[in-house]
Amino acid sequence: MPVIRAFQGLRYNPSKISRLSSVYAPPYDVISPKEQEVLHKKSPYNVVRLILGKSGPRDTVADNRYTRAKKFLNDWVGSGVLFQDDFPSIYVYAQDYKENGKTFTRIGFLAAMKLDERAVLRHENTLASPKKDRMALLKEVRTNLSPLFGLFEDKKGEVSALLKNAMQPPPVVDVEIDGVRHRIYLESRPDVLDKIIKAMRAKPMYIADGHHRFEVACQFKNWMRLKYPKDETAGWNYVMTYFSDCTHNPFTIYPTHRLLRCPKGLKEPLKVLASRGSLEKVKDLSEILKTLSKTRGQARAFWRAHGRRGSGGPRRGQARDPKYRFGVYLKKQGFFIFTLAPQYAALIKKNPVDSLDVAALHKMIVEPCFKIKTLEKSGSIDFTRDPREACEKVRHGDFDAAFFLRPTSLGEMLLASKKGLKMPQKSTYFYPKLLSGPVFHKFEENGSRASA
């Protein structure tokens, strides 16, 4: 586990902002253009102006969305809209959400994590374009505006007990946004901070979300080191990170579905798919989602329990044996369950990454059939967590086909990380997302505003 420390966060001032929910936003990389517009209208102080400001035709090197973010941040600090906490703190962050009619609470905390590329486990490849964008922003604002999402394993639950104890006073933030309640508690007692920091020292840390932000933070640190080679305690040596114990907290992971455009010459995609497997016509999207509702491990267990002869077997629309199955939607032809043929499934390597559904889809379908090999350079692929949005984009003609996947399990992600393997982009979508805005980590030189 990398070194962590408490920090004096910047926060929105409740005496200046009457409704805190109006100034918070999701992470920048899940905000659609439509949602970006809505967030800009919510409040003149909405954090979207910092994390995803608007670009304009008159932008210049000296006046653009990155420099404007810096100005907004400085103006809000100067006018008291944002204030800095008096004492170094760890920010306990609880999220209450509903899933399948049940209410869950996930508890973690925000701290400053010392940047060490060897000390964190990652599972996802990154792209150059988002990193260039985040680097340009970080050079201007010199502040972590959104946290990384990190996981750790704590079998004894020692850290969870300390965090729950810190939740006794009233929260400093308590908002409900899109059906999720977000609560933030300050923990600044030195003895408790020492216990949390000590307990975390021996625990590996996995990045669940924020791979691009982590790599950019490392790049920024190296860039600053050229100017200040001996400043080991400055804020830019650290990155604001959310930590949650994955052995004692619920974690919901959704799949990220694929939207594809057919290359020139591919007039009948169903024929190409039929050459690589079987297609079963289904009534609607709900049948696809039922079939793919279980992770591969859950589907395997279900098949073992119910798939034997005489047991009745799973009915149509339920998860069956864990073959490589995907949902497909095309505007004219409708909805299908596609099952990869055994001869192609046999070509899939059995390591923890290549055997994933998302990897099999790209290797056996997306690359050979749709001629998409480099995701970053292709305008023929897009991603969405919302299956209904995927159907809508195909119906409107934005894309030719939508492919739906099973969710990746937490165990699959952890195993890939432990093995040092990288999963395809957009393999996991952790829910609920952490908000951008409740706490900012502003960099200070010489560590003058932080506690080691």
Q: Give the pLDDT band of residue 304 (cuts 50, 70, 90).
A: low
- pLDDT digit string (tens) for 127-172? 888 999 999 999 999 999 999 999 999 988 899 999 999 999 999 9
Domain count, the chain: 2
**278 - beta bridge partners?**
339
- Between 201 and 283, residue with greater pLDDT: 283
For residue 157, what are the contacts with CB-CB under 8 A and spacing of at least 6?
245, 247, 248
**Do 392 and 263 have their domain in common?**
yes
**Do 271 and 160 have their domain in common?**
no
**Do 191 and 222 have their domain in common?**
yes
Asked if residue 412 belongs to a domain, the reply is no
Determine the average pLDDT of the residues in 50-66: 94
Q: Give the pLDDT band of residue 221 (cuts 50, 70, 90).
A: very high
Asked if residue 278 belongs to a domain, the reply is yes
- pLDDT digit string (tens) for 244-302? 999 889 888 899 999 999 988 888 899 999 999 999 999 999 999 999 988 877 666 55
**Do 36 and 181 have their domain in common?**
yes
For residue 391, what are the contacts with CB-CB under 8 A and spacing of at least 6?
285, 329, 402
**Do 229 and 90 have their domain in common?**
yes
**Do 440 and 303 have their domain in common?**
no
**Do 179 and 61 have their domain in common?**
yes
56-60 contacts: CB < 8 A, separation 24 or more?
none
pTM of the model: 0.86
Asked if residue 452 belongs to a domain, the reply is no
Q: Give the pLDDT band of residue 21 (cuts 50, 70, 90).
A: very high
Q: Give the pLDDT band of residue 374 (cuts 50, 70, 90).
A: low
**Do 186 and 81 have their domain in common?**
yes
- Between 451 and 34, residue with greater pLDDT: 34
Q: Looking at the predicted structure, is the pLDDT value of residue 199 above 60?
A: yes
- pLDDT digit string (tens) for 67-116? 999 999 999 999 999 999 999 999 999 999 998 889 999 999 999 999 98
The packing angle between helices 296-306 and 410-418, to 10°, is 120
Q: Which structural domain range is residue 152 located in?
A: 4-252+431-447
Residue 4, SS3 per DSSP: strand
- Predicted pLDDT of residue 144: 98
Asked if residue 413 belongs to a domain, the reply is no
Which tokens is 316 given?
């149509």
**Do 196 and 221 have their domain in common?**
yes
Q: Looking at the predicted structure, is the pLDDT value of residue 451 above 70?
A: no
Asked if residue 415 belongs to a domain, the reply is no
For the chain, how are helix, strand and coil distributed in percent, rounded to 5? Answer: 35, 25, 40
Give the span between the Cα atoms of 6 and 362, in whole angstroms: 42
- pLDDT digit string (tens) for 91-100? 999 999 998 8
The mean pLDDT value of the chain amounts to 89
Asked if residue 419 belongs to a domain, the reply is no
Going by DSSP bridges, is the β-strand pair 334-340/180-187 parallel, antiparallel, or unpaired?
unpaired
For residue 67, what are the contacts with CB-CB under 8 A and spacing of at least 6?
140
- Predicted pLDDT of residue 302: 52
- Predicted pLDDT of residue 266: 86
Amino acid at 289: L
- Predicted pLDDT of residue 218: 95
The residue whose two tokens read 């990389």 is 29
**Do 261 and 375 have their domain in common?**
yes
Asked if residue 35 belongs to a domain, the reply is yes
**Do 99 and 32 have their domain in common?**
yes
Asked if residue 148 belongs to a domain, the reply is yes
Q: What is the DSSP string of 197-245?
A: HHHHTTS-EEEEE-HHHHHHHHHHHHHHHHH-TT--SSGGGEEEEEEEE
**Do 337 and 198 have their domain in common?**
no
